[in-house]
Amino acid sequence: MHAVHPCLWFDGRAEEAAKFYVSVFKDSEIVNTARYLEGSPGEAGSVLTVRFVLDGQEFLALNGGPQFTFSPAISFVVPCQTQAEVDEYWERLSAGGEEGQCGWLVDRFGVSWQIVPDALPALLSSSDTAASQRAFAAMLQMKKLDIAALERAYNNS
């Protein structure tokens, strides 16, 4: 059985987006590019789809036209072990896009991402409810998440 993977609908920028994403994530590659054929809805020879892999996860980018756009209702979570990873992914993916609250951003193609430190779920789901509430309140004040500041809030220091 094949694994489930997302298809991202672009308006003429599928190849550009795939190349960008492959440049951001380690262990990533473009696997295949398919082109529109004569008699198809797109211009013959232009990019129809780009199949690519980001850190082991397969994606398909489709040049489908202007009918559909991205929404924050679907986002991709990027787990990060260190603040340096958070900083790098935040900087690269938000460039030309829009920074949101609580670790969310929209890249220059309109795709939503969550840049999340691995420590965050434990801070927010601790049996120490008051500490979790402090960490949550701190997170609500942030755009890019700051692990040290979240841990300070959790520890009330």
pLDDT of residue 157: 66
Q: Round to whole Å and give the CA distance between 104 and 140.
A: 11
* CA terminus-to-terminus distance, the chain: 50
pLDDT of residue 8: 98
State the pTM of this model: 0.94
For 42-76, write each residue's pLDDT tens digit. Answer: 899 999 999 999 999 999 999 999 999 999 999 99
Which stretches in the chain have pLDDT values below 50?
none
What are the residue ranges spanned by the domains of the chain? Answer: 1-66, 70-157
Q: Round to whole Å and give the CA distance between 51 and 78.
A: 20
To the question of domain 1-66 being in CATH 3.30.720.100, the answer is yes
User: What is 70-157's CATH number?
Assistant: 3.10.180.10
pLDDT of residue 90: 98
What three-state secondary structure class fits 49? strand
Residues 6+ apart with CB under 8 A from 55: 25, 26, 27, 28
